[in-house]
Amino acid sequence: MFCLKTKPFFELKYFSKRLLFSKSVIPLFWQTKIRLNKLQPLSYQACISRSFHSLYSPLVTNMSSVDNPLVWIDCEMTGLEAGKDVLMEVAAIITDGNLKPVSESFDAVIHLSDQQLASMNEWCIAQHGKSGLTEKCRTSTLSVQEVERQLLNYIKKYVSEKRVALIAGNSVHADVRFLAIEMPKVIEHLHYRIVDVSTIKELAKRWRPDIRPYEKKGDHRALSDIMESIHELEYFRSKWLH
């Protein structure tokens, strides 16, 4: 069955597989709008510009029933040396295999002591000070253990089965190193394979130099960086694979 949202036009979010395969109406991963009795695909930009709460439907409670779920994760850290430096902020968004968000976003800032913040290198002090993250870490009341618990519950809400969802992001292996130390339960729940947008970018540079690099703002805040990573992979897919 599908859900209709009463607005100037209706949003058709979910179709039964039987209808899709028997009638070949439209691919399952498309979100569509009905206007003047015509089916039109919504652009990814239109989807991402809407709030994640409007994209999320209570009907989707377990992503294990959707093909190839991706848990997009981005972290901000006090440096790049896992075990010495520590997590400052963690954000996540869950999409289906076709990069459509299916959940609200997750974003949490971890409390750090003045000593931990003072130990950052010059680049981190300047960048995180400029973005406001340093002060947010100073005033946050969330421990890394509490953020781990919240993030794991968030993921399990949509992907209850272990080793089903792949972790995705930009140079996400660096995030995984920190998460494995500070939030091991999160890493244990996810599949060992990853989707690294940086790999696609590097291969495109070598195999398709005619494709212009995707321009990113690089705010160095976890949630905005995740959204840019999703945009970037969608960009390369549209230029390279289609």
pLDDT tens for each residue of 32-86: 333 333 334 444 334 433 444 344 433 344 544 557 899 999 999 999 999 999 9
Mean of the per-residue pLDDT values of the chain: 79
The stretch 154-161 carries a mean pLDDT of: 94
The stretch 191-206 carries a mean pLDDT of: 95
Distance separating alpha carbons of residues 77 and 75, to the nearest angstrom: 6
Residue 184 — very low, low, confident or very high, per pLDDT cuts 50/70/90?
very high
| Burial degree of 136 (CB within 10 A; 0-12, 13-18, 19+) | middle
**How many percent of the chain have pLDDT more than 70?**
72
Which of 160-169, 207-216, 227-236 shows the lowest mean pLDDT across its residues? 207-216
* Among 44, 154, 158, 192, the one annotated catalytic: 192
Q: How far is CA 86 from the centre of its chain?
A: 21
Q: What are the residues whose beta carbons fall under 8 Å from the beta carbon of 69, sequence distance 6 or more?
A: 63, 94, 95, 96, 97, 102, 158, 159, 164, 165, 166
CA atoms within 13 A on the CB side of 39: 9
Task: Domain ranges for the chain, please list them.
Answer: 1-42, 60-241
Backbone angles phi, psi at 76, to 5 degrees: -110, 135
- CATH code assigned to 60-241: 3.30.420.10
Backbone angles phi, psi at 60, to 5 degrees: -95, 100
The stretch 87-116 carries a mean pLDDT of: 96
Q: Which comes out higher in pLDDT, residue 32 or 93?
A: 93
Q: What are the residues whose beta carbons fall under 8 Å from the beta carbon of 142, sequence distance 6 or more?
A: 108, 109, 110, 111, 150
Task: Check if 192 is active-site.
Answer: yes
Per-residue confidence (pLDDT) for residue 41, from 0 to 100 = 42
Residue pair 105/150 in contact by the 8 Å Cβ criterion: no
Residue 19 — very low, low, confident or very high, per pLDDT cuts 50/70/90?
very low
Q: How many CB atoms lie within 10 A of CB 171?
A: 14
Residue 185 — very low, low, confident or very high, per pLDDT cuts 50/70/90?
very high
End-to-end CA distance of the chain: 30
Residue pair 101/95 in contact by the 8 Å Cβ criterion: yes
The stretch 149-159 carries a mean pLDDT of: 96
Distance separating alpha carbons of residues 221 and 231, to the nearest angstrom: 16
pLDDT(192) > 80: yes
